[in-house]
Structure 1
Amino acid sequence: MKYLQHIAAFIIVVSVNSVASDFSECGNSQEARELVRLIANDENQLRSTIQCNSVLMEVALDKVEIMANHGLVMHNLGGSPNQRLRSAGFELPKYYGTFMANQVEAVAGGYSNAEKVWRAFKNSEHHRKHLLGEHPVYLKQDKIGVAFIRKHDSPHVEYWAVYLTEGSGNDAEHFEDVPNKGIDMLTPVSENEDK
């Protein structure tokens, strides 16, 4: 019986960590790849798998460059997040919103490394639910692209973008409550918050 309990404990540990993967090519920089690793391997991550997606990485890189060039951290800068993905040829489920809709993007500015921005994302209810899969719509999202840039002459200096979504999938599926993250984005409130 003790032998079976040890096997059961091992199986549970393996399945909890089954999202772990090689993210060495997932992101435009070491900081971006570290954020992917933190998201995927967080002890509260509810997804069983997360896969890198090159289109999402390209859109994320474009987004951080736009934010840095404008000196703003904003979801709807250059179009809504959902529309940005559709314009890049990434097919989203039909039940995702269109105009000013965001079921796919998390952005932040002013956080100097992946651990700090991940802590800030987890402390934000909307970001945490999205990135950890705490809603049925989000739980189906298993494709990720992350980008990070540092631009010293821009107000926030560091800019982060995470695109985490599913592809078109089963469009017959219907959800009564499709969350919209709206304008919720992160920047440190005080200088001490980034420490």
Structure 2
Amino acid sequence: MKTQLLPFRQSRSISCICFIVVLCTVLVPANVAKADSGSKFYIPIAVNKSTNCQLNAQEQQIETMLVTDENQQRPEMVCNSILSRVARERALDMATRDYFDHVNPDGHGPNYMVREAGYMLSDSYSNAADANNIESIAAGFSTAEAAWDGWMNSPSHRKHLLAEIPFYTEQIEYGIGYVNISDGNTYHYYWVVLTAKSDQQ
């Protein structure tokens, strides 16, 4: 993206400076404003975070359990539209091709799929085509609560979803997918949760 600056007119400089001071006073959180005089802080003028996830009712139920669980160790969580799109596509793919695995029949795992979709997954995560550092899946559970209970009763899924180990604590962006297709597959209900750390975090 190209940017262009217009010449700054001296006659407007005082009003522009006043506007910026007022803007900073309004936008700086109280705890940042009270920082030591030797501290540095940065005020973002524009934030490019995609939070338009458009979750369906079942996905919203999983989201509520994920972000409000009293044992959740992540300091914050943000829904990411790319991760949600990939999670929904993963659920649909498992239902339509009748398989249940972190690796699809083409040999691709979640790390590969989110990168292919444009998510800037941290370089510290595996680049192997079948790698999974970010996904929990469930199948056959007819309700979000049953799927969540299944994950909570599985030590490895619980560690991932509640960030019970430091590796997962940094994965604050998430996406959720759910599909219910009753014909032509084994489980009918497919659930996917992706949590990830972007290089842009």
Give 1:116's aligned residue.
146
Q: Which structure 2 residue ranges, 5 or more long, are not aligned?
A: 1-51
Equivalent AA in structure 1 for residue 71 of structure 2? N
Distance of 2:134 and 2:127 partners within structure 1 = 12
> How far apart, CA to CA, are the structure 1 residues paired with 2:173 and 2:74?
11
1:28 shift after superposition:
3.5
Share of identical aligned residues, percent? 33
Q: Aligned AA for 1:45?
A: Q
- Counterpart check, 1:159 vs 2:190: yes
Query: 1:26–1:36: 8 Å Cα contact kept in structure 2?
Result: no
TM-score when normalising by structure 2 = 0.69
The 5 A counterparts of 1:86-105 are 86-99=115-128, 100-105=130-135
Match status 1:37 vs 2:36: no
Q: Structure 1 residue 114: deviation in Å?
A: 0.8
How many aligned positions are there?
Answer: 147
Q: Cα deviation per residue 1:127-156 (whole Å; 9 max; x = unaligned)?
A: 111110111110001111101110011210
The alignment partner of 2:136 has SS state of: strand
Q: Under a length normalisation based on structure 1, what TM-score does the superposition of the two structures give?
A: 0.71
- Please tell me the root mean square deviation across aligned C-alpha atoms, in Å: 1.7
**Residue 83, structure 1, aligned to residue 112, structure 2:** yes
Please say which structure displays the higher CA radius of gyration. Answer: 2
Letter of the structure 1 residue corresponding to residue 117 of structure 2: A
Q: Which amino acid aligns with 1:90?
A: Y
For residues 127-138 of structure 1, what are the structure 2 equivalents within 5 Å?
127-138=157-168
Is the 1:81–1:104 Cα contact (8 Å) retained in structure 2? Answer: yes
2:137 alignment partner, one of 107, 113, 130: 107
Q: Deviations over 1:76-106 (max 9, x none)?
A: 0141110001111111111111212111111
**Residue equivalent to 2:16:** none
Question: Which consecutive aligned stretches of 4+ in structure 1 deviate over 4 angstroms post-superposition?
Answer: none
